[in-house]
């Protein structure tokens, strides 16, 4: 793989906190301290901003930063029922167009007062909802966050639309019905864009927790005719009690929608699949909950209380509770079907103690990402693996994006930690992801405890993702360090140095498979029926075919080998790059076992060296086979002519030299030329007799023509009249030197 690293200027000396790919910026973001210390946040409470939106609001083609800060209630209100949402404030930092930002909230809203929403934002998105060329922002809002201990029936809030007015200004609109909103998604359908909200309550002031009345509360809205009012398009029926809408990318006519579902009645979370029926109404066609059925166990809580609590099993682990934190859709490889990805989070307890009870204090955080197909309108788990998956991260956000510039979508997890750095899993294209080493990302120690988190976005629009890090999960109002850090991405991530071995046991019909510097193994199970590009990177890599070697042929192109099944019904062709071991059902094969070069009596075989653009000739079948099997740069072209019959009186020795400067061979029959080279050109290493050539035309022989390539300083030989004529006509850098000597044709 070609490295795209541009190197660092001397002024960009790497500090400990930076990585090769991310450099800390200064003087780009204004101080955020004034917002953290806003009087409306009262005193001594933590201030958070988890749902940050990066969208171009002022249409300068650079993203703007939309923060929604919020704090908890004052401590004197602890335990008391407090009406209203937690204190909150919307702040928009507009791009100045010169790589810096400043507060543009007033510019957009023309309001002197801080902008407050109906509560705390839980998830957010942006889209040009009213099609006026300006991005609009949506937040799922609730009044739970920041009000711990409040009665649940007081947690409902309106969600918020930051809707453009078409003139560069924005209106803040509450929409939907009041609900305990958790999530938001968007469907750009042909009949108008829909915004879907996932809530927890059926309607304002009521919570349906009765297991026999499992009412869901998902809502979809689109703009009404006035372009300012929202009309409902879906209210999700029973079963689940909340859901997370995710973007509908699953089919082109927007009749299919995957959402993630939380169902506390069955003790876990999963996915729901909605499809449109013949009346154009959304119906829930399939759900899939990853955990096995719930059982009730003896349980000892942190406070020592013994009681009964439900547990479920997930991937062989006993899990106390599974919440959903995020979901989305992605393609495993370009043009492949979209699949749904789902991040389940919970707490896992390995075993009950000797008294037979499970203890809450034994619990460890647990999260895992799973993938589902939606074929036949049914959610089905896919056997996709993540090598090195960190299953103990506390995180609420995942994202699917290509960070390695290979058109293969990678997984990004944004955990809460001291450095705030993301965790990235790189996509092989074939159902296996692998953890990217943490040192590819900034590891700046913050003093925000485990509140720091991050988000990729491209602030300078150079195509390379940049990384913003901040105390998203909340810091104290009087904390001494409240400014966020923006790291400029200097280049696409290069992960060629990953040495963990990767095994691809199921290709998922991928057309592109890549692995890196580990010793990797790639099987042909479920291979693409057309063709597949496979690059296994450095290491000793093996490809495994399910049939015996006599069922395949091979040819060489550039530094790759194309392996093709003889019977097309058994699979497509693979273009293999950097694969060292060819394994078939009857054992390891050499490339010569697939290319099967024909042995010709006195045959001289020709190779094209793709590195030097020169040809290599050999009269030795041992040398020929060694070059085929060992030198990627040499493409075998077959026998090109035959050496002279040594019993013929006109046959005489052809000498071979190796030019150590050009890496090419030179042939001559002239002893004068030979001796002159030996005396005057030390870069030519004499290799002795190569084969015999005729010193004159004999019966059946043909001339071997010699050219001098003035660009490479090498000689080229051909016995083919058509090739000779074509070079004379078309390649002025080749000086024709006439007949070197005579040889026999391959056929004849
Ligand atoms: Ca708009
Ligand atoms: Ca990628
Ligand atoms: Ca960038
Ligand atoms: Ca490898």
Under a CB-based contact definition with an 8 Å cutoff, are residues 326 and 398 in contact?
yes
Closest CA to 514 of 533, 499, 501: 533
- Average pLDDT estimate for 693-706: 97
Ligand positioned closest to the Cα atom of 504: 4
**284 C-alpha to ligand 1 centroid (Å):** 30
Q: For residue 425, which ligand has an atom nearest its CA?
A: 2
DSSP 671: H
What is the Cα–Cα distance from 454 to 442, expressed in whole angstroms? 11
Instruction: Give the model's confidence band at 307: pLDDT under 50 very low, under 70 low, under 90 confident, else very high.
Output: confident
Q: Comparing C-alpha atoms, which of 639, 674, 608 is closest to residue 747?
A: 639
* Nearest ligand, measured from the Cα of 535: 4
For strands 651-659 and 684-694, give the pairing: antiparallel
Task: Give the SS3 label for residue 675.
Answer: helix
Q: Which residues of 231-252 are buried (b: 16+ CB within 10 A; e: fewer)?
A: eebbebeebbbbbbbbbbbbee
Ligand nearest to the CA of 463: 3
Distance 57 CA to ligand 1 centre (A): 9
Judge whether 532 and 512 are in contact, CB under 8 Å.
yes
Tell me the DSSP string of 391-444: TT--EEEEEEE-SSSSS-PEEEEEE-BSS---EEEEE-SSSEEEEPPGGGS--P
Ligand 1 centroid to Cα of residue 68, in Å, is: 19
pLDDT band at residue 288, thresholds of 50, 70 and 90? confident
Give the list of residues 6+ apart from residue 661 with CB closer than 8 angstroms, or none. Answer: 683, 713
Yes or no: say if 59 and 166 are a contact pair by the CB < 8 Å rule.
Answer: no
Ligand nearest to the CA of 135: 1
Cβ–Cβ < 8 Å for 235, 241: no
Min mean pLDDT across 23-27, 171-175, 217-221, 728-732 is at 217-221
Q: What stretches of 550-699 show up as alpha helix (H) in DSSP? A: 591-595, 621-630, 671-680
The Å distance, Cα 338 to ligand 2 centre, comes to 16
Give the residue with greater pLDDT, 252 vs 200: 200
| CA 464 to ligand 3 centroid distance, Å | 4
Rounded Cα gap, residues 618 and 573, in angstroms: 29
d(CA 607, ligand 4 centre) in Å? 26
pLDDT of amino acid 429: 98
Find the 526 Cα to ligand 2 centroid distance in Å.
Answer: 21
Residue 252 has pLDDT above 70, yes or no: no
In this structure, the number of other CB atoms found within 10 A of the CB of residue 120 comes to 29
Taking the C-alpha atoms of residue 60 and residue 460, their distance in angstroms, rounded to an integer, is 11
Pick the ligand that lies closest to the CA of residue 22: 3
CA 459 to ligand 4 center in whole angstroms: 34
Question: 168 CA to middle of ligand 1, Å?
Answer: 9
Residue 19 pLDDT level (bands cut at 50, 70, 90)? confident
CA distance 492 to 4: 8
- Between the alpha carbon of residue 374 and those of residues 185, 279, 324, 327, 447, the distances in Å are 18, 21, 19, 14, 44
Tell me how far the alpha carbon of residue 132 lies from the centroid of ligand 1, in angstroms.
5
Ligand nearest to the CA of 580: 4
| pLDDT reported for residue 76 | 66
Q: Which of the residue ranges 8-17, 139-148, 625-634 would you say has the lowest mean pLDDT?
A: 8-17
The alpha carbon of residue 660 and the mean position of all alpha carbons in its chain are separated, in whole angstroms, by: 43
What's the 507 CA to ligand 2 centre distance in angstroms? 17
How sure is the predictor about 576, in pLDDT bands with cuts at 50, 70 and 90?
very high
pLDDT at 202 exceeding the cut of 60: no
Ligand 2 centroid–CA 97 distance in Å is 29
**Got the DSSP string for 292-347?**
---EEEEEE-TT--EEEEEEEEETTEEEEEEEEEEEEEEESSTTPPEEEEEEEEEE
Give the pLDDT confidence of 705-742 residue by residue, as tens digits: 999 999 999 999 999 999 999 999 999 999 999 999 99
Amino acid 229: pLDDT? 79
- Average pLDDT for residues 55-63, to the nearest whole number? 96
* Cβ contact 277:283 at 8 Å: yes
Nearest CA among 373, 361, 345 for reference residue 244: 345
| Residue 577 CA, ligand 4 centroid: distance in Å | 10
Cα–ligand 2 centroid distance for 29 (angstroms): 29
Q: How confident is the model at residue 345, as a pLDDT? A: 79
pLDDT of residue 79: 66
Sheet holding 587-589, edge to edge: 503-504, 521-523, 542-544, 581-584, 587-589
Least confident of 251-255, 289-293, 552-556, 735-739: 251-255
Q: How far is the CA of 493 from the centre of ligand 2 (A)?
A: 9
Please name which ligand lies nearest the alpha carbon of 171.
1
How many Å lie between the centroid of ligand 2 and the Cα of residue 470?
25
395 CA distance to ligand 2 middle (Å): 22
Centre of ligand 3 to C-alpha 184, Å, is 27
In angstroms, the CA 239 to CA 272 distance is 10
Q: What percent of the chain has pLDDT over 70?
A: 87
Distance, CA of 248 to CA of 254 (rounded, Å):
7
**CA 165 to centroid of ligand 1, rounded, Å:** 7
Of the two residues 244 and 63, the one the predictor is more confident about is: 63
Q: Ligand 4 mean position to 521 CA, how many Å?
A: 8
Ligand 1 centroid from CA 547, angstroms: 57
pLDDT at 313: 81
Residue 4 has pLDDT above 80, yes or no: no
Q: Are 166 and 96 in contact (CB under 8 A)?
A: no
User: 208 vs 219, 322, 480, CA distance in Å?
Assistant: 16, 20, 44
Taking the C-alpha atoms of residue 682 and residue 675, their distance in angstroms, rounded to an integer, is 12
First to last CA, the chain: 44
CA dist 718 → 558, 606, 634, 689 (Å) = 21, 10, 17, 19
- Per the model's pLDDT, the better-predicted residue between 402 and 279 turns out to be 402
Identify any residues that bridge with 348 across adjacent strands, giving them in sequence order.
319, 364
Q: Kindly give the distance from the C-alpha atom of residue 134 to the centroid of ligand 1, in angstroms, as a whole number.
A: 4
Cα of 538 vs centre of ligand 1, distance in Å, is 48
Q: How far, in Å, CA of 229 to CA of 248, rounded?
A: 23
Least confident of 8-22, 84-98, 107-121, 333-347: 8-22
Whether 8 shows a pLDDT value over 50: the answer reads: no
CA of residue 400 to ligand 2 center, whole Å: 10
DSSP code for 628: H
**What local confidence, expressed as pLDDT, does residue 81 receive?**
73
| CA 412 from centre of chain | 8
696: phi > 0 → left, psi -120 to 50 → alpha, else beta; which?
beta
CA of 17 to the centre of ligand 3 (A): 18
* Angle in degrees, CA 32, 35, 39, rounded to 5: 150
Check: CB of residue 245 under 8 Å from CB of residue 184.
Answer: yes
Q: How far is the CA of 136 from the centre of ligand 1 (A)?
A: 5
Q: Is the pLDDT of residue 293 over 70?
A: no
User: Which of 125-129, 231-235, 310-314, 703-707 holds the top average pLDDT?
Assistant: 703-707
Q: Which ligand is located closest to the Cα atom of residue 465? A: 3
Return the pLDDT at 149.
67
Q: How confident is the model at residue 259 (pLDDT cuts 50, 70, 90)?
A: low
Q: How far is the CA of 409 from the centre of ligand 2 (A)?
A: 5
Is the predicted pLDDT of residue 237 greater than 70, yes or no? no
pLDDT higher than threshold 70 for residue 564: yes
Q: Quick check: 181 and 159 in contact, CB under 8 A?
A: yes
What's the gap in Å between 456 CA and the centre of ligand 3? 9
CA distance 281 to 490: 47
Whether residue 515 contacts residue 536, with contact meaning beta carbons closer than 8 Å, is answered with yes
Q: How far is the CA of 22 from the centre of ligand 3 (A)?
A: 10
Measured CA to CA, the distance from residue 288 to residue 86 in angstroms comes to 35
Query: Each residue of 177-213: b (16+ CB within 10 Å) or e?
Result: bbbbbbbbbbbebeebbbbbbbbbbbeeeebbeeeee
| Average pLDDT score, the chain | 87
Higher pLDDT among residues 458 and 220, named by residue = 458
Tens-digit pLDDT profile for residues 600-658:
999 999 999 999 899 999 999 999 999 999 999 999 999 999 999 999 999 999 999 99
What angle (nearest 5°) sits at the alpha carbon of residue 679, between those of residues 677 and 681?
50
Phi/psi at 624 (5° precision): -55, -50
Containing 728, the helix (H) or strand (E) segment is helix 721-730
CB atoms within 10 A of CB 664: 21
Judged by its nearest atom, the ligand closest to the C-alpha of residue 129 is: 1
Q: What is the pLDDT of residue 209?
A: 41
For residue 425, how far is its CA from the centre of ligand 2 (angstroms)? 9
- 50 Cα to the center of ligand 3, angstroms: 21
Q: Return the pLDDT at 244.
A: 61
| pLDDT surpassing 80 at residue 376 | yes
Query: What per-residue confidence (pLDDT) applies to 240?
Result: 47
How far apart are alpha carbons 333 and 509 in whole angstroms?
Answer: 9
Sheet with 136-142, edge to edge strand ranges: 120-127, 136-142, 157-164, 170-179
Half-sphere exposure of 152 (CA within 13 A, CB side): 11
CA of residue 466 to ligand 3 center, whole Å: 5
Tell me what pLDDT residue 433 has: 98
Span 119-144, average pLDDT: 92
- The per-residue pLDDT for 175 is 86
Cα–Cα nearest to 217, from 175, 246, 264, 181? 181
Name residues whose C-beta falls within 8 Å of residue 730's C-beta, 6 or more positions apart in sequence. none
Report CA 402 to chain centroid distance, whole Å.
4
CA of 643 to the centre of ligand 3 (A): 61
């Amino acid at each position: 793989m070609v490295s795209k690293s541009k190197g660092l200027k001397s002024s960009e000396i790497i500090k400990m906190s930076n990585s090769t790919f991310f450099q800390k910026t200064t003087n780009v973001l204004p101080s955020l301290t004034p917002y953290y210390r806003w009087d409306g946040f009262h005193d001594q409470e933590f201030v958070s901003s988890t749902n940050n939106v990066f969208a171009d609001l002022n249409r300068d083609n650079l993203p703007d930063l939309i923060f929604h800060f919020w704090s908890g209630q004052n401590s004197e209100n602890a335990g008391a029922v407090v009406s209203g949402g937690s204190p909150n404030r919307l702040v928009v930092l507009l791009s100045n167009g010169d790589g810096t930002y400043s507060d543009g909230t007033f510019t957009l809203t023309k309001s002197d007062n801080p902008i407050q929403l109906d509560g705390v934002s839980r998830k957010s998105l942006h889209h040009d909802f009213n099609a006026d060329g300006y991005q609009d922002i949506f937040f799922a809002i609730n009044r739970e966050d920041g009000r711990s201990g409040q009665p649940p029936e007081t947690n409902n809030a309106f969600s918020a639309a930051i809707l453009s007015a078409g003139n560069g200004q924005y209106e803040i609109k509450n929409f939907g019905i009041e609900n305990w909103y958790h999530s938001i998604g968007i469907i750009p359908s042909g009949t108008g864009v829909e915004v879907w909200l996932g809530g927890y309550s059926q309607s304002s002031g009521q919570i349906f927790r009765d297991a026999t009345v499992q009412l869901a509360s998902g809502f979809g809205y689109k703009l009404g005719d006035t372009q300012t009012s929202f009309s409902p398009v879906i209210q999700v029926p029973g079963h689940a009690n909340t859901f997370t809408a995710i973007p509908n990318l699953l089919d082109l006519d927007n009749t299919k929608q995957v959402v993630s579902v939380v169902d506390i009645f069955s003790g876990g979370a999963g996915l729901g699949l909605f499809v449109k029926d013949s009346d154009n109404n959304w119906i829930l066609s399939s759900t899939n909950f990853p955990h096995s059925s719930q059982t009730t166990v003896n349980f000892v809580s942190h406070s020592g209380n013994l009681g009964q609590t439900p547990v479920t099993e997930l991937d062989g682990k006993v899990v106390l509770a599974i919440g959903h934190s995020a979901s989305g859709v992605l393609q495993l490889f370009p043009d492949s079907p979209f699949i749904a990805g789902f991040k389940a989070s919970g707490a896992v307890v390995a075993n009950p103690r000797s008294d037979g009870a499970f203890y809450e204090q034994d619990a460890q955080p647990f999260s895992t990402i799973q993938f589902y197909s939606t074929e036949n309108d049914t959610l089905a788990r896919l056997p996709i693996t993540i090598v090195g998956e960190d299953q103990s991260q506390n995180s609420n956000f995942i994202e699917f994006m290509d960070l390695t510039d290979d058109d293969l979508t990678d997984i990004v997890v944004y955990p809460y930690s001291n450095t705030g750095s993301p965790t990235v899993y790189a996509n092989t294209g074939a159902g296996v992801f692998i953890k990217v080493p943490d040192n590819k990302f900034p590891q700046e120690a913050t003093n925000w405890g485990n509140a720091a988190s991050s988000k990729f976005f491209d602030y300078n629009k150079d195509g390379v993702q940049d990384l913003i890090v901040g105390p998203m999960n909340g810091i104290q109002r009087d904390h001494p360090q409240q400014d966020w850090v923006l790291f400029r991405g200097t280049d696409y991530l290069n992960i060629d140095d990953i040495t963990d071995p990767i095994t691809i046991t199921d290709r998922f019909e991928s057309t592109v498979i890549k692995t890196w510097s580990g010793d990797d193994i790639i099987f042909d199970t479920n291979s693409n029926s057309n063709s597949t590009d496979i690059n296994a990177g450095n290491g000793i890599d093996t490809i495994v075919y399910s049939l015996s070697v006599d069922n395949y042929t091979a040819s060489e192109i550039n530094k790759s080998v194309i392996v093709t099944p003889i019977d097309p019904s058994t699979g497509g062709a693979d273009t293999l790059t950097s694969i060292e071991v060819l394994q078939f059902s009857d054992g390891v094969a050499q490339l010569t076992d697939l290319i099967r070069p024909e042995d010709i009596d006195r045959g001289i075989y020709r190779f094209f060296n793709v590195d030097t653009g020169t040809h290599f000739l050999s009269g030795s079948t041992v040398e020929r086979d060694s070059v085929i099997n060992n030198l990627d740069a040499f493409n075998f072209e077959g026998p090109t002519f035959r050496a002279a019959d040594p019993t013929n009186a006109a046959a005489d020795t052809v000498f071979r030299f190796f030019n150590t400067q050009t890496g090419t061979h030179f042939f001559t029959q002239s002893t004068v030329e030979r001796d002159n080279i030996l005396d005057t050109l030390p870069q030519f290493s004499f290799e002795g007799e190569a084969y015999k050539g005729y010193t004159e035309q004999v019966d059946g022989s043909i001339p071997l023509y010699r050219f001098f390539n003035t660009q490479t300083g090498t000689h080229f030989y051909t016995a083919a009249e058509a090739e000779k004529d074509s070079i004379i006509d078309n390649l002025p850098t080749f000086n024709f030197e006439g007949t070197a000597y005579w040889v026999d044709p391959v056929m004849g």
